[in-house]
Every structure is written in structure tokens, then in C-alpha cells.
């Protein structure tokens, strides 16, 4: 799989890079690393977009830790390049084509946008000791019951592939990853930037989540999965 092709660049360009979510994502990434006593000297992000997650994550570490971002989309690379610091570097390149190996490799909301996601995951496994994935969970009881919603162009364009917790973890295991840890995250609950429709669904989501987070993710959605693997 080559993520540096015109078709894949078009798909990756459709990702929604939400600048205000970056500090929150960085905090969750640091949390899963800290919970598992992972103390990296180098952290890489494939498909780093405008670089905000990597820059915010650097705030949790000292200057000895190196942060490297790879981005194939020229427009995004031009933005993240301006954010470089002594220990933060960005490359306009495809990590899968580079002879490099890092302590931690991150794929934050990436492989759901890649057409050959199984090939992508298989090759990415060779690029670092630990891998961190942030995966949207879009298959829920709510979306299945509302089958017309799944057929909407907006839903299909948001990601090429759609997962729930079990299929996401199964995909990682099936491509050779060892699951070390995972937990649910939800910006709707932790850092709500909500429209009226979101507010309507957020109350039952919050109530059900307080009783059974796994059930809330399966029924109502609005959750992502943060996964640490080897």
C-alpha cells in the first residue's frame, strides 16, 4: 500500500483536523504511555496533518525526546513545517518508504482513511517498538438501526472503513499487533464542543457511560478507542 499516491492523498485530505482537539488528544496519548510505563526517546506520527497533536504532545516530555512527523499532503506539510523546534521535526514523506525506526509510532485517526488499511497496518508494524492508535468507533447499534444514516454520503466520506471496538482490536491483532492496553475516549464527554444535536444525544450518552462505558459506546456512539500495541 502506498499512501503517497494521488488517490490516497485525496482521501487523507478529507480528514477533519480539529485544531482545538489537539491538546486533548495529546493528553490521552500521554496517558496511555504513562499508564504503561513507556518512556520513549523518539515519537513519530504518520499522517501528522498540520502537526498540532505532535506539538502538544511534546509539552509532556523533556527536550531530550525527539518528535518526528511525516505528512504526504503538501498543504498540511507547509503548515506543520512552521511549527518545528529543536526537538520537533516534520518531513514531507511517506514513513512507510523511509528507512526509519522509532520507540513510538502514532497513527491518529489515519488507517480508517487508507484504502488498503490491512497492508498499511502490516507495514507500519515494522516502524517502531510501540504503536499508538486513535480509532473512531462509528458502528453502533444506533447507526445500524438507522441504516439510511450509514448510506449517507457524509457518513461514507468521513472514513473509508468503519469499526466498533471489537472489529478495531480484531483488525490490529489480525495484522500482527500485540494489544498492550486500550481505553475509550470521547470529546463529547471530556471536552464538549457541541451543537444542538450533540447536546441532545450527550445527556443519555453521559448517563449510560457512567453505568457501563462499553455499553454506551456500542449503543449510542460518540467514542474513539485509544490503543497501545507492540
Structural domain that includes position 60: 6-229
Let me know if residue 26 belongs to a domain.
Answer: yes
Residues 63-76: what's their mean pLDDT? 95
pLDDT over threshold 70, residue 13: no
What integer pLDDT is reported at residue 157 of this predicted model? 55
Least confident of 32-46, 122-136, 144-158, 181-195: 144-158
Q: Quick one: pLDDT band at residue 187, thresholds 50, 70, 90?
A: confident
167: domain CATH number is 3.40.50.150
Least confident of 15-19, 179-183, 188-192: 15-19
pLDDT over threshold 90, residue 189: no
Let me know if residue 117 belongs to a domain.
Answer: yes
Residue bearing the bigger pLDDT, 198 or 118: 118
Contacts of 37 (CB under 8 A, 6+ apart): none
Residues 81-107: what's their mean pLDDT? 96
Residues 69-92: what's their mean pLDDT? 95
Q: Quick one: pLDDT band at residue 19, thresholds 50, 70, 90?
A: low
Contacts of 215 (CB under 8 A, 6+ apart): 208
Residues 179-183: what's their mean pLDDT? 97
What integer pLDDT is reported at residue 213 of this predicted model? 81
Q: Where are the alpha helices (DSSP H) in the chain?
A: 6-13, 22-35, 52-58, 74-81, 117-124, 141-145, 147-151, 153-158, 165-174, 187-190, 196-211, 213-219
pLDDT over threshold 90, residue 77: yes
Rounded Cα distance between 105 and 60, Å, is: 16
Q: Quick one: pLDDT band at residue 141, thresholds 50, 70, 90?
A: low
Least confident of 5-9, 90-94, 114-118: 5-9
Residues 200-227: what's their mean pLDDT? 77
Question: pTM for this one?
Answer: 0.81
Let me know if residue 1 belongs to a domain.
Answer: no
Let me know if residue 127 belongs to a domain.
Answer: yes
What integer pLDDT is reported at residue 212 of this predicted model? 78
Nearest to residue 119, comparing CAs of 94, 91, 137, 136?
94
Number of domains the chain contains: 1
Let me know if residue 58 belongs to a domain.
Answer: yes
Amino acid at each position: 500500500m502506498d499512501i503517497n499516491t494521488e488517490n490516497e492523498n485525496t482521501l487523507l485530505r478529507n480528514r477533519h483536523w480539529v485544531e482545538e482537539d489537539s491538546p486533548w488528544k495529546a493528553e490521552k496519548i500521554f496517558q496511555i504511555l504513562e499508564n504503561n510505563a513507556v518512556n520513549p526517546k523518539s515519537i513519530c506520527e504518520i499522517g501528522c496533518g498540520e502537526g498540532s497533536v505532535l506539538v502538544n504532545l511534546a509539552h509532556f516530555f523533556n527536550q531530550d525526546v525527539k518528535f518526528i512527523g511525516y505528512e504526504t499532503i503538501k498543504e498540511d506539510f507547509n503548515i506543520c513545517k512552521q511549527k518545528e523546534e529543536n526537538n520537533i521535526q516534520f518531513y514531507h514523506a511517506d514513513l512507510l518508504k523511509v528507512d526509519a525506526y522509532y520507540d513510538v509510532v502514532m497513527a491518529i485517526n489515519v488507517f480508517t482513511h487508507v484504502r488498503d488499511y490491512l497492508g498499511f497496518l502490516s507495514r507500519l508494524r515494522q516502524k517502531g517498538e510501540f504503536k499508538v492508535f486513535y480509532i473512531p468507533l462509528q458502528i453502533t447499534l444506533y447507526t445500524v438501526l438507522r441504516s439510511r444514516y450509514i448510506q449517507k454520503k457524509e457518513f461514507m466520506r468521513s472514513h473509508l472503513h468503519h469499526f466498533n471496538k471489537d472489529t478495531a482490536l480484531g483488525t490490529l491483532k489480525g495484522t500482527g499487533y500485540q494489544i498492550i492496553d486500550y481505553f475509550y475516549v470521547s470529546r463529547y464527554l471530556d471536552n464538549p464542543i457541541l451543537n444542538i444535536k450533540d447536546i441532545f444525544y450527550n445527556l443519555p450518552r453521559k448517563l449510560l457511560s457512567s453505568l457501563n462505558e462499553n455499553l454506551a459506546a456500542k449503543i449510542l456512539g460518540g467514542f474513539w478507542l485509544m490503543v497501545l500495541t507492540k
